[in-house]
Amino acid sequence: MGVFVFLPLVLPLTAWPIARLAEQHLHPRAATRLLTTVAVVTAVCSTVCLGLLMVVGTAQLPGNPLPDGWSDPEVREAVPYDEVAGRLAIPALLAVLLACARTLGRHSRVRRGAHRALTGLPDTEVAVLPDAVPYAYALPGGRRGRGGRVVVTTALLSSLEPAERRALFAHERAHLVARHHRFLLAVQLAARANPFLRPLRTAVSYTAERWADEDAAQAVGSRRVVARAIGKAALVSRGTPVATLAGFAAAGPVPRRVAALLDPAPAVRSWPSVFTSVGLAAWAAAVGAAVSAMSSANSAVTMFLILYAATPL
Amino acid sequence: MTDHPQRARRRGQGELEALVLSALREADGPATAGWVQEHLGGDLAYTTVITILTRLLTKGAVTRERAGRSFAWTPASDQAGLAAHKMRRVLDGESDRGAVLASFVTGLGPDDERLLRELLGRVEGEGED
């Protein structure tokens, strides 16, 4: 096996080009689903790999509860630098588990807190809060997808015209209907499991917004109205600038969303033809990502089989 | 009687605050804690009502004035205002809330505002579709 055991840890790097291509050329719905799947598969493979490295590397440490067969010379031969890698894998795996647990905890804490804040208000789908700070978001509901609410402040509503308000509500409703928070949570956990997957998280949070924009444009029947709503909302809530290096920043997600809405609607057909240059690049990137994911899975499975064979039953 | 505070706690603070506030709003003018307790059907212990009123006071949701040996309470803001206040606390408590809730718009980068105004100018210039 040699250094191939470490492949699942670095192969997520190959997902970067596909993230860029999918973001630019696929329908946002297809891009969100594809990138989330790639992120989850590679994150699981990378975590499994980390777990197996830890087992192999530390099975020979005195006092550990793991079967001695797992530190068999044969097994250890499969892993280069097994002692160093094994010891490094312990804190790495712990860090991954801790980060994922914290992410999950924060997710449910914010959701519960937001629902609790809304108790006492009439049980309507849209909750309008009298607040001078303009914001709006979709608050996902309970287990069966019921009880999701759109939270919006009076400050934001008053800056929009009636048609733009309809666009805003349609956008947030699209988030709720398509359960976008699941995609966002999945890529976030993936990015915690392997930091190389962070670009995928950024990409998915953008494509999920684009997906909701497209659905809203269809619901209100005008792409311009949605574009105007986003633009105005961003300008009234610009009090919190993003921390980026000035002069180095590429266009942020909001102008890109507005620009995309001013262009014609993206084709719903999920993949471009292979016979265009864009199509060729997209297909090459997709095949590359699939091969990476598969070799990640392969390395993980091989390690697992070696350990399984070495386990005395 | 002794299990009342426990039952109250199980029902959740937010719900109790909303309950007390709505009772207070139904009163004609300032009301005492005893009146609120009675109005809620005696479901809550007197001390619980006082605790909740005090909590609402620190949130700025009610005001009070001395009336004889006790206080008379008046709602300062309605339930929507209270909800807005609590929501802000939830949101401000999270440094990275964009990671949890998909907000309608994210912050703008240094050049984004200029770019955005240009784009919006294009929308206005081309008129309605």
pLDDT in tens, B22-62: 888 888 778 888 888 888 887 888 899 999 999 888 877 78
Tens digit of each residue's pLDDT (9 = 90 or more) over B59-76: 777 888 888 888 888 887
- Least confident segment among A9-23, A38-52, A128-142: A9-23
Distance from CA of B65 to the nearest CA of A (A): 25
- Is the confidence at residue A211, as pLDDT, over 50? yes
State the pLDDT at residue B105.
79
State the pLDDT at residue A270.
54
> What does each C-alpha distance from A49 to A46, A100, A144 come to in angstroms?
5, 17, 34
- Is the confidence at residue B19, as pLDDT, over 50? yes
Nearest to B108 among A153, A180, A254 (CB): A254
How many of the other CB atoms lie within 10 Å of CB of B60?
12
- Is the confidence at residue A113, as pLDDT, over 50? yes
CB contacts of A118 in chain B (<8 Å) are 83, 87
Distance from CA of A45 to the nearest CA of B (A): 23
Non-local (6+) Cβ contacts of A299 within 8 A are A1, A4, A5, A7, A8, A45, A49
Tens digit of each residue's pLDDT (9 = 90 or more) over A59-71: 767 667 777 666 6
- Is the confidence at residue B128, as pLDDT, over 60? no
Distance from CA of A116 to the nearest CA of B (A): 6
Q: What's B1-129's CATH class? A: mainly alpha
Total tally of structural domains belonging to chain A:
1
What region, left, alpha or beta, does residue A67 occupy, with left being phi > 0 and alpha being psi -120 to 50 degrees? beta
| B111 contacts A251? CB cut-off 8 A | yes
Please give the DSSP secondary-structure letter assigned to residue B107: P
| B107 contacts A249? CB cut-off 8 A | no
CB contacts of A172 in chain B (<8 Å) are 104
Which residues 50-89 of chain B have a CB within 8 Å of chain A? 79-84, 86-89
B129 part of contact set with chain A, CB < 8 Å:
yes
- Cα–Cα nearest to A137, from B112, B104, B66: B104
Q: How far apart are CA A175 and CA B101, in angstroms?
A: 10
- The helix-helix angle for A28-58 and A180-193 (nearest 10°) equals 30
Distance from CA of B129 to the nearest CA of A (A): 7
Mutate to test the interface with A, among B40, B101, B113 (most CBs of A within 10 A): B101
- Is the confidence at residue A227, as pLDDT, over 80? yes
Q: How far apart are CA A192 and CA A274, in angstroms?
A: 34
Q: How far apart are CA A312 and CA B99, in angstroms?
A: 45
> What does each C-alpha distance from A64 to A71, A111, A312, B31, B37 come to in angstroms?
11, 40, 16, 67, 61
pLDDT interval class at A240 (50, 70, 90): very low
Please give the DSSP secondary-structure letter assigned to residue A132: S
State the pLDDT at residue A241.
44
Residue of A nearest to B96 (CA): A106
B122 neighbors A223 (Cβ within 8 angstroms): no
Kindly provide the ipTM of the predicted complex, given to two decimals. Answer: 0.74
Q: Parse chain B into domains and list their residue ranges.
A: 1-129
- Write down the mean pLDDT value for chain A: 81
Nearest to B108 among A118, A156, A234 (CB): A234
CB contacts of B87 in chain A (<8 Å) are 114, 117-118, 129, 131, 151
pLDDT interval class at A219 (50, 70, 90): very high
In this prediction the pTM is: 0.76
Q: What is the DSSP string of A237-298?
A: TTTS-----TTTPPP-HHHHHHHHHHSPPPPSSSS--TTSHHHHHHHHHHHHHHHHHHHHHH
State the pLDDT at residue A68.
67
Residue type, A311: T
State the pLDDT at residue A243.
41
A79 neighbors A57 (Cβ within 8 angstroms): yes
Burial of residue A279 (CB within 10 Å: 0-12, 13-18, 19+) is middle
B7 part of contact set with chain A, CB < 8 Å:
no
A17 neighbors A9 (Cβ within 8 angstroms): no
pLDDT interval class at A238 (50, 70, 90): low
State the pLDDT at residue A32.
92
| A138 contacts B18? CB cut-off 8 A | no
Which tokens in the block code for residue A171? 């956008």
